[in-house]
Structure 1
Amino acid sequence: MSLALSTLIFEWRRYMAAVIALAVAGLLVLSLVGMFMGIGKTFSATIDRSPAHLMVLPPDSEGFGGATQPRRNIPALFQHPEVVEVQPYTVRWAMWSNFPAAGQPAKRDGVQTIVVDPVKGAVTMPNDFNEDVIMALQEPYTVVIDQSSLAKLGVKVGDKATMNGRTVTVRATVANYPSLFNAMVFTSRQTAKLLNLADEGPRVGSLLVKVADPARTDQVVEELNSMGKGQYKAWTRAQLSEKNQEAMFKESFIVIILGFMLLVGIFIGVVITWQTLQGAILANIKEFASLRALGVSMGALNLIIMELSFWVGIAGLGMTAILLMGVNALAGAFNLTMYYPLWSILTIGAMLLTIAVLSGLLSLGVLKKSQPADLLR
């Protein structure tokens, strides 16, 4: 075990402030990234869990959105021999009202209506819907909502409510489809027609496509784009997910908030870590003077300080991970989805190590006070 690591272990109290400062700096930025990306994942949850292997969007689309394309693109896609199913991804807005019981508040809110085909394995049916939910959706005028939205919509399983003035029944609930804004309501395509929510016009939104051999999805995407000649654009779900993440960070307010928090985190981390390391080195200045008296060069002592600051950074990363698990647990209790892309974890990890090493560099000047002659005083 190196001298720097043993010093950190046996005198951890002196360095705890620096470790906490680094952990708070990392947690500040990562929690915001996780929240914003989690919101984006909530909006695309039905697509991420769809059996679809690829999606077809309008040609000028650079991500999942509200643009439309001609309905004639559906039969055109079947010209590819490996395409086995194509269905439009239909999301419509509706006004929801409950039937409040005595003492219960009336709830009136806009909801996102997700139209699915209630058949197991259908391209529009999320993979995590069990058999009971699928059977419930097969009944006319029935809907399924996320369990976290029950209180928000003022209903429980078995209750009736109205959507756009038509009475519907909540037959079942699902999990992992929370929404910070408008609740998601799932209904069958047949029920959507009864509620005047089906889109039967000449234009459709995004298209969900299933292919015969999932291993050939990338090749099918290239071939479909070649066949389409600019009439549409096919994406793999991985490509679309990456584009949606990029689109999230093109929003100016998100960039401003994250940029500001990043600067604050760096400032807090550098200042507190630097001052803590300086204080710890000063507390051990006689030990460093003894090492100089034994012939240890100033360069070797500088390396000890730099290694010590590196280990402080590693400890800060470990505490960040522990605190982040606590934040995730708290978010889960409030049905808030958190998502951390790999690039964000790597970036923040590199940032914390850089802060620790920079603080070590700023603290090297203290070693000049470690004069062997001071041991004689």
Structure 2
Amino acid sequence: MSLALSTLIFEWRRYLAAVIALAVAGLLVLAMSGMFMGMAKSFTNTIDRSPAHIMVLPPQSESLFANSGGQPRRIIPMLYQHPEVAEVMPMNGSWANFSNFPKDGQTAKSDGVQVIVIDPFEGSVTLPSDFSEPVMQALQEPYAVVLDRSVLGKLGVGLGDKAKMNGQTVNIRATVDGYPSMFNSMVFTSRQTARLLGIVYEGPRVGPLLVKVKDPTRAKQVVAELNAIGGGQFKAWTREDLSVANQGTMMKEGGISIMIGFAVVVGIFIGIVITWQTLQGAILANIKEFASLRALGVSMGRLRLIIMELSLWVGIAGLGLTAVLVAGVAALANAYAVPMDFPMSIVIPVVFMLLIIAILSGLFSLGILKKSQPADLLR
């Protein structure tokens, strides 16, 4: 075991503030980024959890959020020209006014909701893969709807209650988890019920198309071939590529980028200042030990390497504590149905940021070694 690691282990109390400072810096950046990315995922969960392997959007689309609107329904037969395509269905969605039937002492609530139309039968490309058999069977009932558990209080309803959508009575037959909404609540209903409610549009234009292929391992190749067949009339994506593009679009949004950038600046400032001061204090407390090493012939360069290694170990300890804190925040958020997501494109830069902060703090602390004079041992 190296001298730097031994020092950190046996005198961990002196370095605890530096480890906590790094962990707080990492938590600040990851928690804010995770919240915004989770918000983005809440909008795209119906696609990310779809059995579809390919999504088809208008030709100029950069993501699900940055697309030019609907596309002609006539492109559906074009997709079936590819022999690997097994099923194509439009992702139908609409808006409706949702209101509860207030019980005794309950407040009447009315809110706009986003209606997601699905086909509730086994193997359907529009049926989210995490919908259980009871949920699927519940949706087969006329006028049945399904809500995410997190929006029941917001809409003022409970499982088994009746409510109104666009003035017609519906029944809340089941609830699901994992589809929270920061803005408009999602309501799932079958295509048949949507027709009864008059909220499904089946005109000449459609939204995103969900495509299931016979061999999922060939999805990327099929995407390229479908784009060639389309000749610029549409743009096909694998589900995974579209998910990455959605995350990129969210990060490009001005407000989100500014807020995350602010969190990064604050986190770096907190991390460097506190870690630097803590390392300086700890080194100064052990200055006689460093003076003894110099008296034994250890060069100043070697002592500097010990300090840099010590700062690196502090950084690694800070990463470990960051992981624990982020896991705790994520668990707490999950308990309250708050969506959070931590893509590796954000996690990896934060890891390097914390290590760089620790190394810079070590560099700034090297000057304290000038006080490690062997002659001071005689005082």
The normalised TM-score by structure 2 is: 0.98
- The CA distance in 2 between the partners of 1:69 and 1:3, in whole Å, is 66
- The CA distance in 2 between the partners of 1:155 and 1:204, in whole Å, is 32
User: Does residue 199 of the first structure (1) align with residue 190 of the second (2)?
Assistant: no
Equivalent position amino acid for 2:118 in 1: V
- The CA distance in 2 between the partners of 1:9 and 1:179, in whole Å, is 45
Equivalent position amino acid for 1:22 in 2: L
Which of 87, 102, 114 is the equivalent residue of 1:112? 114
- The CA distance in 2 between the partners of 1:130 and 1:136, in whole Å, is 10
Across the two proteins, how many residue pairs are aligned to each other?
377
Alignment of 1:1-377 (within 5 A): 1-65=1-65, 67-377=69-379
- The CA distance in 1 between the partners of 2:333 and 2:5, in whole Å, is 35
- The CA distance in 2 between the partners of 1:366 and 1:237, in whole Å, is 54
Q: Secondary structure at the match of 1:114?
A: strand
Q: Secondary structure at the match of 2:347?
A: helix
Q: CA deviation at 1:292?
A: 0.4
- The CA distance in 2 between the partners of 1:158 and 1:26, in whole Å, is 43
- The CA distance in 1 between the partners of 2:29 and 2:367, in whole Å, is 30
- The CA distance in 1 between the partners of 2:336 and 2:138, in whole Å, is 27
Deviations 1:22-74 (A, max 9, x none): 00000000001110100111111111111101010000111013610001011
Q: Secondary structure at the match of 2:320?
A: helix
Equivalent position amino acid for 1:63 in 2: S
Deviations 1:206-259 (A, max 9, x none): 000011111111111000000000110100001101110110011001111111
8 Å contact 2:93–2:200 — kept in the other structure? Answer: no
Equivalent position amino acid for 1:52 in 2: A
Equivalent position amino acid for 1:224 in 2: L
Q: Which runs of 5+ in 1 are unaligned?
A: none
- The CA distance in 2 between the partners of 1:159 and 1:343, in whole Å, is 43
Q: Secondary structure at the match of 1:44?
A: helix
- The CA distance in 2 between the partners of 1:103 and 1:236, in whole Å, is 50
Equivalent position amino acid for 2:226 in 1: L
The percentage of counterpart residues that share the same residue type is 69
- The CA distance in 2 between the partners of 1:2 and 1:305, in whole Å, is 12
- The CA distance in 2 between the partners of 1:4 and 1:105, in whole Å, is 63
- The CA distance in 2 between the partners of 1:120 and 1:145, in whole Å, is 20
Equivalent position amino acid for 1:221 in 2: V
- The CA distance in 1 between the partners of 2:176 and 2:333, in whole Å, is 18
Structure 1 stretches of 4+ moved >2 Å: none
Equivalent position amino acid for 2:236 in 1: A
Q: CA deviation at 1:154?
A: 1.2
- The CA distance in 2 between the partners of 1:375 and 1:238, in whole Å, is 64
Equivalent position amino acid for 2:297 in 1: G
Q: CA deviation at 1:107?
A: 1.1
Deviations 1:117-159 (A, max 9, x none): 0111100001111111111111111111111211111111221
- The CA distance in 2 between the partners of 1:182 and 1:200, in whole Å, is 23
- The CA distance in 2 between the partners of 1:90 and 1:271, in whole Å, is 52
- The CA distance in 2 between the partners of 1:127 and 1:36, in whole Å, is 24
Q: CA deviation at 1:167?
A: 1.0
Q: CA deviation at 1:363?
A: 0.5
- The CA distance in 2 between the partners of 1:15 and 1:133, in whole Å, is 53
Q: CA deviation at 1:176?
A: 1.3
Deviations 1:278-319 (A, max 9, x none): 111111111101110000000000000000000000010011
Q: Which runs of 5+ in 2 are unaligned?
A: none
The normalised TM-score by structure 1 is: 0.99
Equivalent position amino acid for 1:53 in 2: H
Equivalent position amino acid for 2:47 in 1: I
- The CA distance in 1 between the partners of 2:167 and 2:95, in whole Å, is 13
Q: CA deviation at 1:344?
A: 1.2
Q: CA deviation at 1:329?
A: 1.6
